[in-house]
């Protein structure tokens, strides 16, 4: 569904933000969108309506877009602008958000491609109507610090002999075996804690799925990439009927109390994760 608009004859392309199940012209009219010069508008096709904007094709040519992807601040600006338009549309009626930088050479091609996906858009709208997406991140419960591993000489030492220089010690008999036992104990505790954390994640996921209409498990963020020292054991998103959204905070508190986990609940969001590949 993505086309490069760089070779558009008039130097412009049609950027598509979302597809809506009802007219949304009043809601999105005059939004700035992702580019200066032209405001966001609607493009009806059949019973559905696309939310679009005319943009400079050169701004989204492969080279320009790759440069933007490498510029974190610029990419964030575009992503926020795209999300803002989608959010405004979704507040007005059921909406299928399209991926960032979905473009067509011209309006005719946009209408042709979108019309060809009418069945999938209708299915996505039916699945997500009156539902929102909620994110749940779970972090392993904090535990008291375990005894740190110590060098062999600290595990057990024998007194210095009269001829041994001050400051030097020799391991006591059996110190090496004690050290190995200690390492095995530390490893066993770590494995036990990891198993407990995974069981806790499964418990939390199962309870949220009881409330949700659908769920997706995502790859947990590593502490290094997230800049967070906590260990994330669950990163999931849930499609929840709006009428049941009030249950989520209560459920989060209950699970925190019963498992000792740190649970972060975020939302409601436009259901990006549940509209399928459109």
**pLDDT, tens digit, 9 for 90 and up, residues 89-111:** 999 999 999 999 899 999 999 99
The answer for residues whose C-beta is within 8 angstroms of residue 97's C-beta and 6 or more apart is 17, 18, 86, 90, 270, 271, 272, 275
**Lowest-confidence pick of 68-72, 84-88, 253-257:** 68-72
The pLDDT of 172-196, averaged and rounded, is 63
pLDDT digits (tens, 9 = 90+) for 26-79: 899 889 999 887 889 999 999 999 999 999 888 888 887 788 778 888 889 999
Q: Which residue has the higher pLDDT, 267 or 183?
A: 267
Distance (Å, whole) CA 8 – CA 247: 50
- In the beta sheet, which residues pair with residue 264? 137
DSSP state of 42: E
Give the pLDDT band of residue 148 (cuts 50, 70, 90).
very low
Helix (H) or strand (E) holding 259: helix 246-259
**Lowest-confidence pick of 13-22, 23-32, 202-211, 236-245:** 23-32
| End-to-end C-alpha distance for the chain, whole angstroms | 8
């Amino acid at each position: 569904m993505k086309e490069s608009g760089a070779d558009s004859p008039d130097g412009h392309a049609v950027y598509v933000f979302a597809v809506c199940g009802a007219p949304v012209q009043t809601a999105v009219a005059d939004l700035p969108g992702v580019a200066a010069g032209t405001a966001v508008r609607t493009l009806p096709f059949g019973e559905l309506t696309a939310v679009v904007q005319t943009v400079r094709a050169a701004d989204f040519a492969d080279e320009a877009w790759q440069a933007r992807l490498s510029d974190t601040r610029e990419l964030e600006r575009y992503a926020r602008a795209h999300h803002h338009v989608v959010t405004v549309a979704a507040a007005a009626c059921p909406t299928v958000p399209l991926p960032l930088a979905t473009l067509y050479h011209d309006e005719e091609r946009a209408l042709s491609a979108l019309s060809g996906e009418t069945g999938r858009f209708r299915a996505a709208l039916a699945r997500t109507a009156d539902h929102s997406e909620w994110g749940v991140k779970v972090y392993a419960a904090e535990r008291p610090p375990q005894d740190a591993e110590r060098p062999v000489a600290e595990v057990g030492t024998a007194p210095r002999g009269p001829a041994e220089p001050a400051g030097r010690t020799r391991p006591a008999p059996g110190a090496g075996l004690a050290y190995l036992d200690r390492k095995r104990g530390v490893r066993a505790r770590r494995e036990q804690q990891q198993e407990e954390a995974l069981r806790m994640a499964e418990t939390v996921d199962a309870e949220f799925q009881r409330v949700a209409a659908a769920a997706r498990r995502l790859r947990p963020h590593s502490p290094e990439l997230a800049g967070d020292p906590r260990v994330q054991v669950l990163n999931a998103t849930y499609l929840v009927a709006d009428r049941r959204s009030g249950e989520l905070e209560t459920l989060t508190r209950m699970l925190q109390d019963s498992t000792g986990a740190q649970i972060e609940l975020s939302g409601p969001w436009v259901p990006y994760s549940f509209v399928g590949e459109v």
